[in-house]
Structure 1
Amino acid sequence: MTQSSLTNSEPTREYHYLQPSTFWSIRQGFPKSLSLLLIAVSLIFPLVLWTVVSSLGWVSPIFLPSPALVFQAGLKLFTEDSLALDVLVSSGRVLAGFLAAAVIGVPMGLAMGTFYSLDSLFAPLVGTVRYMPVTAFVPLIVIWLGLGEPSKILIIMLGVVLYNAIMVADAVKFIPNEMINVAYTLGATRRNVVFKVIIPAAFPSVLDTLRVNISGAWNFLVIAELVAAQNGLGFKIIQAQRFLQTEKVLFCIALIGVIGVVIDYGLKALSQKLTPWADQIRH
């Protein structure tokens, strides 16, 4: 059989080319205008739906007051019930608990991700305790620390600290071994590897971990302010719930959401400024 006949007998391959798509592109850029439009839709559509449902009377105002009633209740809280002070008090509690969780959790996570010995020492304890509900510790915390501010800060700290440790440890474990081996080849000591390779490489992930877990600190705020609080956003929510003032409950919840978004974008901007080289990894 000749070479030409072999060539002619080969099956013809069909090539399928991927059709370009703007909306369904996978990490290939996205128009800023379309992104802003989708953000607007995601925010406006639920608000419009809420307005329609409440204005048509499909749901009782006790269960779902209109956005106008919620807004009016918020103005009243700010002007008559010193809600601004509650925001400051709650923010201070969250900040104190979150900073304590960062000071303890981040070094623990770095140690667990770097040294197998410390991972074996801490991982069983962390893996067990993180499944225990923080609310179950509230009576013990009251016995240990009383009803003052330390107990509230401890509750917020316990709700976040172990997740900080686990997520930071996982980030360290994803650092390629080649980076560490190259450092050893160049004559680095273990101390050099920790402070000049591992910590700088994990730093962007540490910032992202803190950015994610600060939402958990706000989630535990209401639980913390159950402990004999006389002010704070969680206290306001619980107080309004007792009197079926749903509009006040919704406004305080929405206010926590707005504060969270501001903090999230602030931490994101700080992270991008401190670690611009990690933008490609983040996006």
Structure 2
Amino acid sequence: MGTFASIEAIFAPFVSAWRYLPAPSFIPILLMWFGTGEAPKLALLVIGVIFFLITLVMDHTKNVRKELIETALTLGANRYVVVLKVVFPAALPDIVTAMRQMLAMGWTYLVIAEIVASTTGIGAMMMRARRFLKTDEILAGIVVIGILGLLTDVMFRMLHRRLFPYLEVKN
């Protein structure tokens, strides 16, 4: 969508409309379709994250320097080669950063799904602790979620540094 205006014209309205629908509102229908277990949690994660991620990827693709694209076309590359060999590699560092940012939303939706619609997971454990007024277990769940979120964020940052060392500023 970020490379071809015709594809953007077709899909952008659909993607934009889905971005504004609150993902947790889908929980009742996901439970009807998938029952309890892992499937509704995964579906909620996809619904909650994918449309924002598509928009971010589109924006980062649009921000690829026009000089790179024009140079490739001048050198005889066709549109397929330009997308694969110029646009995708140029946008990839920003796409990985967008994925890292969306990971935080993914954690949020995962916990919401576990609290509302699951018998397993940290969110479900926190809801069981709530029934018995076990504040320490609830706080432990919050701390574990924070630590797991921080660890995944650090892993994404390390992946970004490893994949794109040329972007690191050296003093």
TM-score, normalised to structure 2, is: 0.93
Structure 2: which 5+ runs fail to align?
none
SS of the aligned residue for 1:113 comes to coil
Distance in 2, matches of 1:151 and 1:138, equals 7
Identity %: 38
Deviation string 1:20-75 (CA, Å, 9 cap, x unpaired) is xxxxxxxxxxxxxxxxxxxxxxxxxxxxxxxxxxxxxxxxxxxxxxxxxxxxxxxx
Distance in 1, matches of 2:156 and 2:109, equals 20
Give the partner amino acid of 1:235: A
Q: Is residue 191 from structure 1 mapped to residue 80 from structure 2 by the alignment?
A: yes
Give the partner amino acid of 1:182: T
Q: Larger C-alpha radius of gyration, 1 or 2?
A: 1
Structure 1: which 5+ runs fail to align?
1-111
TM-score, normalised to structure 1, is: 0.57
More helix by share: 2
The aligned counterpart of 1:239 is: 128
Cα 1:140–1:241 change in 2 (3 A) is same
Shift of 1:243: 2.4
1:1-283 residue pairs with structure 2 within 5 A? 112-226=1-115, 228-280=117-169
Distance in 1, matches of 2:62 and 2:84, equals 15
* Aligned structure 1 segments of 4 or more residues deviating by more than 3 angstroms: none
Q: Any conservation in 2 of the 1:152–1:227 contact (CA below 8 Å)?
A: no
Q: Any conservation in 1 of the 2:49–2:105 contact (CA below 8 Å)?
A: yes
Q: Any conservation in 1 of the 2:130–2:138 contact (CA below 8 Å)?
A: yes
Give the partner amino acid of 1:164: L
Distance in 1, matches of 2:112 and 2:147, equals 19
RMSD: 1.3
Distance in 1, matches of 2:34 and 2:88, equals 35
Distance in 2, matches of 1:209 and 1:187, equals 31
Aligned residue pairs, count: 169
